[in-house]
Amino acid sequence: MKVAFYSTQAYDRDSFDLINQNGMHEFLYFDINLNIQTVKLAQGCQAICIFVNDHADADVLRALAAIQVKIVVLRCAGFNQIDLEEAKRLNMQVLRVPAYSPEAVAEHAVAMILTLNRKTHKAYNRVRDGNFSLNRLIGFNLHGKTVGVIGLGKIGLAFCKIMHGFGCKVLGYDPLATQVPDYIHLVTIDELFASSDIISLHCPLLSSTLHIINEQRLAQMKDGVMLINTSRGGLIESKPIIQALKDGKVGFLGIDVYEQEEKLFFKDLSEDIIDDDDILRLMSFPNVLITAHQGFLTREALFEIAHTTIQNLADAEQGIESKNSLTT
């Protein structure tokens, strides 16, 4: 099958070429995003492969259908970037990678917590400059702290297990969760916001979760709360979080995703003027840690993403019903 592969990074090409050594599929790699202007690159292809910042809205899907593209495979778990109702109307098959490596993202969230808390990034830079002072590097014990987890899917549960291992009290909120390990205390979202020292987001971006962290929710939290987001940028409303950082309501913020990341992440902008006042303001805070959507980036996860995506293409081509389908 001929596949137009959008938003390609070097590690994508390496992992997919490794799994596709038998040449079952022909990948056309493009380093630009899918949008209405770039649909034409898929001319002559039967399928497209997209990532988190590609746009597969109704107009794009109709344009793809017009050039006979029938299959869309997502090399990610989230699917907020695609209009599933329009895809169903057009009889397009849409498949995703629901669980490539829950531990990869969960461990990155923990790394952000430890970095923000113990200020290892600052200590690293100090020592390299010959500054061995410990002033302003005081952290706190994770042991005994209350950690609130919003979203108890595979990533959320993997994160809960790690935090329980640190000796934390783990609160969980997920409207779909019924049975969880006994060390997770299921609570209402209001209880979670009010009681947690650390809050970590592990839920998908849906209409019900868009800006789940907003001015009203921030007011419910403890003063000095630590907030971590390794899920989707749209879960946090940017301007209220900036104000909460200025006021001291949020004591620490770690984000691996950002609401307007499409124009920034996965690109080298070191010689450019960044035209985004919110990200520049966030970058100016000493208690904010930003990584550029790298939570998934482990060897194991890349292998699983490539393996599952290629299997999804094979299943779609052969008409095999797949548990990874979003349109059946």
Note whether 264 and 258 are within 8 A (CB): yes
Q: Is 103 a catalytic residue?
A: no
**What is the Cα–Cα distance from 77 to 60, expressed in whole angstroms?**
20
Q: Please write down the long-range contacts of 318-327, taking CB distance under 8 Å and 24 or more positions apart.
A: 322/95, 323/98, 324/95, 324/96, 324/97, 324/98, 325/93, 325/94, 325/95, 326/79, 326/82, 326/84, 326/87, 326/94, 326/95, 326/96, 327/84, 327/87, 327/88, 327/92, 327/93, 327/94
| The one catalytic residue among 55, 232, 259, 262 | 232
Q: Is 232 a catalytic residue?
A: yes
**What is the Cα–Cα distance from 301 to 12, expressed in whole angstroms?**
11
| The one catalytic residue among 96, 259, 261, 262 | 261
DSSP string spanning 84-114?
HHHHHHTT-EEE--S-S-HHHHHHHHHHHHH
**What is the Cα–Cα distance from 16 to 11, expressed in whole angstroms?**
8
| The one catalytic residue among 75, 259, 293, 304 | 293
**Both structure tokens of 323:** 């548990």
- Residue indicated by tokens 């800006």: 211
CA–CA distances in Å: residue 140 to residues 1, 88, 148, 167, 328: 54, 50, 17, 13, 48
- Residue indicated by tokens 């805070």: 285
DSSP element (H, E) containing 161: helix 154-165
Q: Is 164 a catalytic residue?
A: no
**What is the Cα–Cα distance from 174 to 152, expressed in whole angstroms?**
6
CA 228 to chain centroid, in Å, comes to 11
Just list the catalytic residues. 232, 261, 293
